[in-house]
Amino acid sequence: MFSEKLKGLRSGGMVFFHDLLMASIAWFGAYWLRFNLGAIPEEALNSAVSYLPLVIVVQTVAFKVFGFYRGVWRFTSMPDLLRMWKSVLSALLIVALVLFLYNRLEGVPRSIIPLYGVLLVLLLSAPRLLYRFWKDGNGPVAGAGKRVLIIGAGQAGEQLVRDLLRAPSAEYRPVIFVDDDKNKRKREIRGISVAGSIRKVPRYIEKYQVGAILIAVPSATDKEMQRIVEICESCGVPFLTLPSVAEILSGKVTQEALREVSIDDLLGRDPVKLAWESIKGSLENKTILVTGGGGSIGSELCRQLVQLSIKQLIIFEKSEFNLYKIEMELKAQYPGLSILPLLGDVVDRSALKRVMGQFRPNLVFHAAAYKHVPLLETQAREAARNNVIGTLNVAQESIEVGVDKFVLISTDKAVNPTNIMGATKRTAEIFCQSFAVESATQFITVRFGNVLGSAGSVVPLFQEQIKKGGPVTVTHPDMTRYFMTIPEASQLIMEAASVGHGGEIFVLDMGASVKVSYLAEQMIRLSGKTPGQDIKVEYIGLRPGEKLFEELFHDEESLKPSGHDKLFYASARSYKKEDIESLLQALSDACNTFDDDKVKSLLCQLVPEYKEGTGRSSEALGEEKNYVKHTERRQFTRAV
């Protein structure tokens, strides 16, 4: 470390010495130019020598004031040149003013000042630019690396090419750009031509003997990315992509950032732009409890929350392994933060009472829930006990200790449910809305669809099936689902907690629904295989409780804007508190006696729109097919 510091001091000293030398040369050079490149008269030379210390001191101070030495020679850019101009111009004005006040510029021809400025800028910038040109190289090295075509001739593409050209031993050698922007056609970027549109990629692959494709369009939407990937797949050569805009936080695009195209790229959407200051202000210095904090959504919520200067994070989780994993991860990254991992089950009212009473959290994010639809269809008691009674326990204890906000994480399956899981989550929504009316605690519900890569989702299932060589099993060719990434869902949950005042059901904008069959086929293609040939796709029929499509809001829940373009809230439906309380007590009794039939009957009473078993009935299946085939799905923007 000492040697590195010493090296840095030597490098900085050499740069400083170089600039002082250039300032001296520029000062005498101005006199030399003034006298037509001939001998400088003795009187003028004496004045040049006598005023040189003043010029050096003023110029040095100007360099320091304008941060001229922040830049690195190898990466000299316009901001560095701008600081240079400011430093030189300000020094010129100060030197001219001092000399004018001192002796009315006697012995200093008026042209010396501007000549000095022009010469100094040239002498300072030329070595820097030449050094960068020498380090970057002046073009691709013949025969070095695999010949690649780059899709995207924008800033990301330019930075990628620049990085590739810097290293003669780079794995890839750029030979051609393609871009849909007609204004970029037949132009060159760092010596690489922009040939034509993206749809002509297959033609250019053969023409330029390209061995790989690099996708440098981090701002592409999901539809644009789908089109690009389909074109690349038809070319028969490997293709990689740069991360999305949301992932490129440093602003630096290098060949190390290249990775294989993932399913997230095809199903991802525009990056979420959050009001981080508002979120931070609402959560800062707060004690926060996350139930189910070791699960997919719960753990990501914990990762996001610890970045917001909270006072304490309490992770309540019944899986010992999941709790251990998230604890180790967070404590390694934030050793100074108070993180309290607690083993516990939300159905254990005594444990909840003790935790709530001892730590008195300001906010509760309730993520603990059973979510696997087919599994819960045959275990109604367990589903109701965990998703309804467990949520009821957390909600009532939150009211008891005066929690400021209680955020229920719900699901699109709670809308017109055809399965036990959806009915239990809708029941939880109903009594949380009821509590919001009369309690000081603000009850907020956040409802969204599937998250990519979560435990139990189709993505890891398909990945495992592809790894084994298939077949990939899809329930129905017409089945569609909404998808979003886990970080996006977690961030929007925090946004909802920030803007909610109690009683709202927030609905996340999930974008367009995606056919699960398309998802399966694309994952097969991304693995380098061909659907139907290398790996088969088999349709196995709807599982218990499943629907062909999901909805995010009920017909009676008109959506309203929340002030965030990806967050809406549905107008709540009213319910009689007395009816809810008696049914919940009966449900608890049915769970205690393991009466599954009674549990199902009570769920039907609590959620009138729940029709037990309609997920697999032939009549309902026909209606869903007709809905998907002949009608246009409601979209958020249309509803609002």
Paired residues of 316 in beta bridges: 291, 342
Q: From CA 92, how far away is CA 75, in angstroms rounded?
A: 27
Q: From CA 202, how far away is CA 341, in angstroms rounded?
A: 54
| Cβ 107 vs Cβ 43: under 8 Å | yes
pTM (predicted TM-score): 0.61
Best CATH choice for the domain 276-451+484-510+550-639 from the list 3.40.50.1980, 3.40.50.300, 3.30.450.90, 3.40.50.720: 3.40.50.720
Q: Is 574 exposed, middle or buried (0-12, 13-18, 19+ CB in 10 A)?
A: exposed
Contact partners, residue 153, CB within 8 Å, separation at least 6? 177, 178, 179, 181, 184, 187, 189, 194
pLDDT digits (tens, 9 = 90+) for 449-496: 776 655 556 777 777 888 888 888 887 888 777 677 777 788 888 888
Q: Which of 371, 413, 547, 566 is catalytic?
A: 413
* pLDDT, mean over the chain: 78
Enclosing H/E stretch for 267: helix 263-267
Confidence (pLDDT) at 144: 57
Residue with tokens 């607690």: 342
Residue with tokens 């002949």: 630
Among 408, 523, 434, 419, residue whose Cα is nearest residue 470: 523
How confident is residue 258, by pLDDT bands cut at 50, 70 and 90? Answer: low
Distance of CA 45 to the CA centre of its chain: 63
Residue 390 is which amino acid? Answer: G
Contact partners, residue 443, CB within 8 Å, separation at least 6? 395, 405, 406, 408, 432, 433, 435, 436, 502, 503
Range among 430-434, 445-449, 587-591 rated most confident:
587-591
pLDDT digits (tens, 9 = 90+) for 137-184: 544 444 456 888 988 888 778 877 877 776 655 677 888 888 888 888
Average pLDDT over residues 590-597: 93
pLDDT digits (tens, 9 = 90+) for 509-551: 666 677 788 778 777 777 667 787 778 888 887 777 667 766 6
Contact partners, residue 328, CB within 8 Å, separation at least 6? none
Domain 146-261: which topology?
A: Rossmann fold (3.40.50)
Q: From CA 291, how far away is CA 344, in angstroms rounded?
A: 9
Q: From CA 329, how far away is CA 630, in angstroms rounded?
A: 48
| Cβ 11 vs Cβ 72: under 8 Å | no
Average pLDDT over residues 22-42: 81
Dihedral pair phi/psi, residue 8, rounded to 5°:
-65, -40
**Annotation says 184 is catalytic:** no
| Cβ 306 vs Cβ 335: under 8 Å | no
Range among 142-146, 409-413, 613-617 rated most confident:
409-413
The strand pair at 287-291 and 363-366 is best described as parallel
Lowest mean pLDDT among 220-229, 291-300, 453-462: 453-462
| Cβ 179 vs Cβ 115: under 8 Å | no
| DSSP for residue 348 | -
Paired residues of 289 in beta bridges: 314, 364
Q: From CA 436, how far away is CA 569, in angstroms rounded?
A: 15
CA pseudo-torsion sign 255, 260, 263, 266: positive
CB-based burial, 313-337: b 16+ in 10 Å, e otherwise: bbbbbbeeebbeebbeebeeeeeeb
Residue with tokens 């990689």: 240
Domain 146-261 shares a fold with domain 276-451+484-510+550-639: yes
Domain ranges of the chain: 2-136, 146-261, 276-451+484-510+550-639
